[in-house]
Amino acid sequence: MSDAPDHKALLGKLVAFDTTSAKSNLPLIGFVEDYLGQHGVASTRVPTEDGKKAGLVATIGPVNKSGIALSAHTDCVPVTGQSWSSDPFTLTARDGRLYGRGTCDMKGFVACVLASVPSFVAADLKEPIHIVLSYDEEIGCVGVRPMIERLGKNLPMPRIAIVGEPTTMEVVDAHKQIDVLTTTVTGLSVHSSEPDKGLNAIRYAAALIMEIERLVEEIAKEHRDDRFDPPRTTAEVGTIEGGTASNIVPASCQFQWLMRSLPEDGADAIPGKLQAYAEKTLLPKMHAVSEETGIETARQVHVPGLQAAANSEAVALALSLTGLNAPHAVSFSTEAGLFEQTGCASVVCGPGSISQAHAPDEFVSVDQLDACMTFLGKLKDRLSA
């Protein structure tokens, strides 16, 4: 791929855009649009309703066939509170590694895709290659959803999606699903000298948290899948807030928790059992104090898991391009499950290690980027044959 632009230089330009999820990604999207345009590739923006962010879809090759989608998100996580050895938004090379926010997750893959565009354009592609860039993946795969809704309508429907999340260029055919839930406990506030006249919302929230722990252990005994690490469904309480002062029985408590479920466990196994526990054990006691008390759990985020079919053409393609013999599973989540739900066979394969993602001094190795360039070159050759 000697005709390709320098993917490392392109990565430097991408890292320089601070696309933390709380900020706009439009400067980066504008850069990609201009870059594609310079190579004669038209693109379509899919903006948010307020116009502050946008996804992007571009097609290279014949428009009357389904083709292969190369999917990536443009947002990254914050650097707030992290100690970096160099400016996180300036690409820094040290010892065969390229440091910067998003280098691994997942601007390294985007840089490789963009660097491959001239060779894609020059090739006699028999099937198209679609570039799909989304926003707000880090807060629940938000930006890819409106684009997926348009696939097969006014956007092309690919037959295969390759999501370039960091897998050290190994082939991933399964990942866990994510659910983020918020549980709110409403108690009754009274003076702390008369606690029996009120209801301590924090105490009941604590009981619910302990029940979540018990349910996680219970479901782990029922289902185990050693392809994953850890090999079970997990749930963790991430934030908790409640009360106003130590001498006031707290009237409210709210905690947010996250589940990473095995594909076979489903999204409702633990929340359903938690609700049953609340209704049987806690709510009768609470309502005996006041009918105004209660427990409510709401799901904020659901990202489906990925479980590719046994004969998945996406997995077969990725294995043939990498030269690997078998796929594996990961515990993090991606946009691949959403593509798979549309009937688009999906697989995850990209440069870098998830261990470096979201961390201070995030990096991707040059070797990993080079391997990704080779992968994309083989894809181009395969679609040109």
What's the pLDDT at 329?
96
Backbone φ, ψ for residue 288 (5° rounding): -65, -25
The DSSP symbol for 332 reads: S
What's the pLDDT at 2?
43
What's the pLDDT at 268?
85
Q: For residue 2, what are the CA distances in angstroms to 7, 113, 325, 373?
A: 11, 15, 28, 11
**How is residue 345 written in tokens?**
């066979």
As annotated, the active-site residues are 75, 137
What's the pLDDT at 1?
41
Q: Given this chain, do its domains 7-174+305-384 and 177-300 carry the same CATH topology?
A: no
Residue type, 10: L
Residues 292, 78: Cα–Cα separation, whole Å: 39
Q: Parallel, antiparallel, or unpaired: how do β-strands 160-163 and 306-307 relate?
A: unpaired
Instruction: Give the pLDDT confidence of 108-132 residue by residue, as tens digits.
Output: 999 999 999 999 999 999 999 999 9
Residue 127's nearest CA partner among 71, 70, 69, 61 is: 61
Residues in the chain: 385
Hey, is 48 helix, strand or coil? coil
Cis ω before 62 (30° cut-off from 0): no
Q: Parallel, antiparallel, or unpaired: how do β-strands 234-242 and 172-175 relate?
A: unpaired
Residues in the chain with pLDDT < 50? 1-2
Residue type, 80: T
Matching residue, tokens 């989304």 = 134
What's the pLDDT at 385?
78
Residue type, 278: A
Q: Parallel, antiparallel, or unpaired: how do β-strands 43-47 and 54-60 relate?
A: antiparallel
Kindly report the CATH number that applies to the domain delimited by 177-300: 3.30.70.360
Read off the pTM.
Answer: 0.92
Kindly report the CATH number that applies to the domain delimited by 7-174+305-384: 3.40.630.10
What's the pLDDT at 266?
77
Residue 274's nearest CA partner among 205, 232, 215, 218 is: 215
Contacts of 249 (CB under 8 A, 6+ apart): 187, 188, 189, 190, 191, 192, 195, 198, 199, 200
Domain residue limits, the chain: 7-174+305-384, 177-300
- What are the helix (H) ranges across the chain? 7-15, 26-38, 108-122, 144-150, 201-222, 269-277, 283-289, 313-322, 336-341, 366-384
